[in-house]
Structure 1
Amino acid sequence: MRTSSTKGTRSTLGRTTRAAATLAAGALALSLTACGGGEDDKSGDDGKNGGDKQQPASVTLPKLDGESLEVAAVWTGTEQENFKKVLAEFEKRTGAEVTFVPAQDPIINFLGSKVAGGAPPDVALLPQPGAIKQAVDKGWAKPLGAEATKELGENYSQGWQDIGTVDGKPYGVYYKAANKSLIWYNAQVFANAGAEEPKTWDELLTTAQTVYDSGVTPFSVGGAEGWTLTDWFENVYLSQAGPEKYDQLAKHEIKWTDPSVKEALTTLAGIWGKADYVAGGPTGALQTDFPTSVTQAFTGGDQPKAGMVFEGDFAQVNIGETEAEVGTDAKAFPFPAVGDTAPVVSGGDAAVILEDSKAAQALATWLASPDAASIQAKLGGFLSPNGGVDSSVYPNAVQKKIAEALVSAGDDFRFDMSDQAPQAFGGTPGKGEWKALQDFLKNPKDVAGAQEKLEADAAAAYGG
């Protein structure tokens, strides 16, 4: 979601992109704005996501009294606190002591320093497939044992298993996933403006103008963090250029000077290039971090700093820091279709073992289980690709339907493009794609300049 990988990524991309086709538009043409239903809404349940299905037995874990573990991730705030509750249950069941280690972006660099110092964490949550490959190539990552692999096979689609596999061996447990193709909006702003949820890009522009005419800036953009801008680009590009081109650009088989990139950047400029459409204008957006970009859309009643904010289901964590209630005050619609089909881009965080031990293997097994994911799912702002999680545990109808769509899609999803790229290009603050798109947000008229910079940085990162 945030950081990325190395040029070793290319050997895993074939598996990743074959297993990752666009989430079926029909699966996500769902009522994300439903404000009723909640946990007792089981209509249309097909048995895959709860309802009458028989729940799997609780995962079996060994006794680990006296054992201690360290788990590293870049998660902060509410996300970190909720994950610690998952770790606390593991401690309760096993007797082990688990310490959460806050990591910095890029996490691969953070782990490198820990490995060099002879004190790597036992387990790390890596936010892209390329980072897993890099950890394997460096000899840091250890394969999953029989119990963790068994838990993966029982609970995950083959696509999610493949993304965590390197050279035929399973290394990563995708504990957390993300649907990064949602636009959240302030329901009262829309009601006051008479705005409707758009289904196409042209309708989105019309909706933006309607919100603007009502006296509210249409969009909040967290431009201080370059990964949010890559997500904007990826959604536009996937829908407009199509999945085949998306895969080619992800592997740098076509250049960033390709006409398809020009078309996507020109489309983005339709919003980024209108200063009155972005809260604070380009300068303000570049000083706005992601959490603030979300909260400022739902603070101030019906006169917030912006009426809409684009990002994944995890934005609910930040919405929860305001007085807005998801499903009532804060609603969401799928990213509108720019081309023939609405896009869906997914991301995720995989647990990888760095210090192999009985305790580390048990923790990986725990994180692959429905038991673990269900704890954090109940707390909100979290989405699991684990098919054993009963969707009724999600705290609201919006999150429940997003989760059902992800699981029911099986292997049909596209993974975040920047997370597939070498770290120097797709995952480093102030460099590569992050910096180039920040510069483009500042000057959306310079499409050609942005393409040239993107291609120069990509060529260097991919090795030519």
Structure 2
Amino acid sequence: MMRRRTTLASCTALVAALALGTTACGGGPVTAAGDGDKLLSGQTVTVAGVWSGTEQKNFQKVLDAFTEKTGAKTQFVSTGDNVSTVVGSKIEGGNAFDVVMVPQVGVLQQFAEQGWLKPLSKPTQQSVDANYASVWKDYGSVDGTLYGLYFKAAHKSTVWYSPDALDQAGVEPPKTYDEMLEAGQTVSDSGLAAFSVAGQDGWTLTDWFENIYLSQAGPEKYDQLAAHEIKWTDPTVVKALTTLGELFKDKELIAGGQKEALNTDFPGSVEKVFGPEPEAGMVYEGDFVAGVAKDQFGKKIGEDANFFFFPAVDGGEAPVVSGGDAAVVLKDGKNQKAAMAFLEYLASPEAAAVWAEAGGFLSPNKKLDVASYGDDVTRATAKSLVSAGDSVRFDMSDQAPAAFGGTKGTGEWKLLQDFLRDPSDPKATAAELEDAAAKAYQD
């Protein structure tokens, strides 16, 4: 699985670095080639990822900027959510993509273990070392070898609210989890439910759990649970489920109660707060809530829709849970040179700035000027993500085998939906989670 690059591959990486103006050998920036020197002209990079709609259009701007810089053409294929199935089929058919944008740590590890990936070039590794907190390198590595470059990230520790709803209730954005529940009760007393919960989508419930667990149990326990080094029956898990259950069982805090929450998907949960007929004052989810509020409901971010960071639980540190998409190079792709050059470009602040200016994007690249983002709210979430450094923790369910952490109707998604339906026995839920996790990690 650990593959050595040949001297020729190293030279190719150096040529690509010269074309892109990156740091090639650990010194200062290499002088970029002139506009007429399109060293990758005539080559095409095929890139696959889950993105569609607005995200795909904005990523196309990054692809177009790479073409302008290098002369290489690009072709993007949207895989939908079944990335591993699509990629596996293409490899088996002898028509592998050159680059894949992988949305889950567990899938990246799976690809590496199956021998599908090439280690990233030396210039890309140098950029990661210089421009990223080490936690992002860890999440992109398998057995000490760097395969994945995290280009796009999400800040999944944000609670979005209607300023009008909080003003009407006379409450300020809370600083602690207990204060958040108290503020929610005051909002509920004023006529709106406190929270809209997207229980139809099990992944949103895993995010609720992960933020509580990270703050309450701490990062060391979080890492152990993510790797299944401790069992889901651990007292810290039962405690976090108990804390989450206090919210789930309070019908005054959740719009429509548990039954309606289980019939509400993620876009619907945002609509209940920012749509034409609001039913709740707040909705928890990542920074991408802003895109739905803005694009679908015409809200001006920072005025009609705002956020506070997920508050600290039981005296712990405020959590910073993230997700993201890592670019990897498939070893069976037909265009290794252009693929490696593309990742060297993605590792640069220049590439991140293209999408940052377009909106709907966060970068873990600490060299990206936050002025590149188009509004103060996005700048605030970007600053929080980068300043968290190595305390950032990747979405736990995305680190797990898909059978446990990423499959509709089974594993953690289903069991937390069952817990939302009946949160009366956290110990029993923890035992069920452990049974499912043990099977998935063993398989």
Give the TM-score of the pair, scaled to structure 1. 0.83
In the alignment, is residue 323 of structure 1 matched against residue 298 of structure 2?
A: yes
- Give the aligned partner of residue 20 of structure 2: none
Which residue of the partner structure matches residue 418 of structure 2? 439
Among 373, 386, 398, the alignment partner of 1:419 is: 398
Larger radius of gyration: 2
Give the deviation of 1:168 after TM superposition.
Answer: 3.0
Deviations, residues 148-169 of structure 1 (Å, cap 9, x unaligned) = 2333333223332232122332
The equivalent position to 2:246 in structure 1, one of 244, 267, 270, is 270
Q: 1:158 to 1:238 in 2, by over 3 A?
A: closer
Whole-angstrom CA distance in 2 between matches of 1:454 and 1:91? 47
List structure 1 segments (4+ residues) > 4 angstroms apart after TM superposition.
Answer: 55-62
In the alignment, does 2:45 pair up with 1:69? yes
Match for residue 352 of structure 1 among 328, 340, 348: 328
2:281 paired residue among 297, 307, 320: 307
Alignment correspondent of 1:124 = 100
**Equivalence for 2:18:** none
DSSP 3-state at the match of 2:198: coil
Q: What is the SS of the residue equivalent to 1:249? A: helix
Cα separation, partners in 2 of 1:164 and 1:133, compared to 1, 3 Å: same
CA displacement 1:172-211 (0-9 Å, x = unmatched): 1100122211101011111111122111121111111111
Equivalent residues in 2 for 1:64-213, closer than 5 Å: 64-213=40-189
SS of the residue corresponding to residue 274 of structure 2 reads coil
- Could you report, residue by residue, the CA deviation over 1:293-317 in whole angstroms, capped at 9, with x for unpaired residues? 22432122xx512211111122222
Letter in 1 for 2:290: Q
Structure 1, unmatched stretches of 5+, are 1-7, 9-54
Distance of aligned partners of 1:245 and 1:459 in 2 relative to their CA distance in 1, 3 Å threshold: same
The superposition leaves residues 205-239 of structure 1 with CA deviations (integer Å, 9 ceiling, x where unpaired) of: 11111111111121112222221111100111111
Verify: 1:452 aligned to 2:431, yes or no. Answer: yes
Change (3 A) 1:397 1:137: same
Structure 2 Cα separation of the partners of residues 102 and 442 of structure 1: 34
Rounded to whole Å, the distance in 2 between the matches of 1:218 and 1:405 is 25
Q: 1:32 is matched with which residue?
A: none
Give 1:380's match in structure 2, choosing from 347, 359, 362. Answer: 359
SS at 1:218 equivalent: strand
CA–CA distance in 2 between the matches of 1:295 and 1:80?
Answer: 23
TM-score normalised over the length of structure 2: 0.86
Work out the CA distance in 2 between the residues paired with 1:75 and 1:273: 35
Matched, 1:298 2:274: yes
* Counterpart residue number, 1:34: none
Matched letter for residue 318 of structure 1 = V
Distance 1:157 1:249, change over 3 A: closer
In the aligned structure 1, how far is the partner of 2:299 from the partner of 2:233?
42
> Would you say the 8 A contact 1:103–1:110 is kept in 2?
yes
Q: Which amino acid aligns with 2:254?
A: V
Separation (CA, whole Å) in 1 of partners of 2:32 and 2:150: 17
Aligned-pair CA distance for 1:62:
5.3
Conserved in 1, the CA contact under 8 Å of 2:194 and 2:282?
A: yes
Q: Say which SS state the counterpart of residue 411 (structure 1) adopts.
A: helix
Contact 1:262/1:451 (<8 A) preserved: yes
Bigger mean CA deviation after superposition, 370-379 or 55-64? 55-64
- SS of corresponding position for 1:159: helix
Residues 192-271 of structure 1: pairs in structure 2 closer than 5 A: 192-271=168-247
2:311 aligned to which of 316, 323, 336: 336
What 5-or-longer segments of structure 2 have no aligned partner? Answer: 2-27
Q: Which amino acid in structure 1 is aligned with residue 97 of structure 2?
A: P
Residue equivalent to 2:341 = 362
- Residues 399-410 of structure 1 correspond to what in structure 2 (within 5 A)? 399-410=378-389
Assess if the C-alpha contact under 8 Å between 1:316 and 1:380 holds in 2.
no
Q: Distance in 1 between matches of 2:112 and 2:87?
A: 13
